[in-house]
Amino acid sequence: MSDQKQSALGLQLLRRHLDERAAQGKSRVWLTDRALEQVGTLPQRARAAAARATRDQHPQPIATSDTPPVPTGDRRSQLDAINASAESCQSCRELGTLRDTMVFAVGSPDAELMFVGEAPGYEEERQREPFVGKAGQLLDKIITAMGLQREDIYLSNIVKFRPDTGAADQGTSDRKPTADEMAASVGYLRAEIAIVKPKLIVALGGAAMEGLLGLDGSVGRARGKVYTIDGHPAIVTYHPAYLLRTDSNDDKRLLWEDMLIALEHLGLPISDKQRGFFKK
């Protein structure tokens, strides 16, 4: 029996028992500690089971409740308007699983290249800027190795609020955003894409790949192909945080090959030295 049916049945039995006791003229019932605990959590369990059932029927992570209309004006003022509306993202706040400080995006509104990560972490929340922690510093090195500058690129995340770990003091702990958190937020990113109109989007890591492109499976299998999101070309590569964890030259080379594809796609020059980075 599903959790949802079990909870409904539990409530029905409890109701029947209380009605019988009332018919016998009893106004009190005695519950064991265990029964009391079970009764107390029935509504939450029923709600969680209903949410799970709904999610299972609608597995596409790209579905989103908040897709703000793109206002008129130049790109900078359009992005400012999306930034302001993301701050009060109803569907994000309603989840109750994200922290309060919004971290929007950084970079050029006219960028040809857009990097998309998953969500801000500790350092990003502190500085209110995407990709400024350790993974961001590695991304900066990658951008420099490409012969580009951070200011020329647009850096954003699917989720604009740091995911809450539920700890009383979260400290520097971070977690990946859930599919629900990405679905609630991705409309803002799609509005940013519609405004910036990058020539290429790079989804960094599995969460960005899932949340933005609706792809599951491994990054290893998804990389090396060009996808489209709302008519804009997109590729998938490893998240810099993954490279920091594995510290593998092979993984560095694979990411670098994706950056060579990006440079080629943008029609930018590539030196022989660049072509050889991380080659064995």
Report, in Å, the least distance between residue 136 CB and ligand URA. Answer: 6
CA neighbor of 46 nearest in space, from 4, 13, 95, 2: 4
Residue 154, beta-bridge partner list: 107, 114
Nearest in space to 229 (alpha carbons), one of 202, 258, 267, 264: 202
Cβ neighbour number for residue 80 with a 10 Å cutoff:
15
Binding flags for ligand URA, 214-253, as an x/- string (CB under 6 A): ---------------------------x------------
Identity of the amino acid at 93:
R
For ligand URA, the closer CB: 17 or 128: 128
Tokens standing for 168? 């009383």
Angstrom distance (rounded) from CA 11 to CA 40: 11
Integer CA distances (angstroms), 148 to 33, 145, 230, 232, in order = 64, 7, 25, 21
Among residues 104, 131, 161, 256, the one that binds ligand URA under rule CB under 6 A:
131
> Which of 41/173 has CB closer to ligand URA?
173
Q: Which stretch binds ligand URA (CB under 6 A): 35-43, 112-120, 140-148, 164-172?
A: 112-120
Q: Smaller CB distance to ligand URA: residue 7 or 236?
A: 236
Q: Which of 66, 112, 118, 125 binds ligand URA (CB under 6 A)?
A: 118
- Judged by the rule CB under 6 A, the positions of this chain that interact with ligand URA are 117-121, 124, 130-131, 133, 135-136, 157, 241
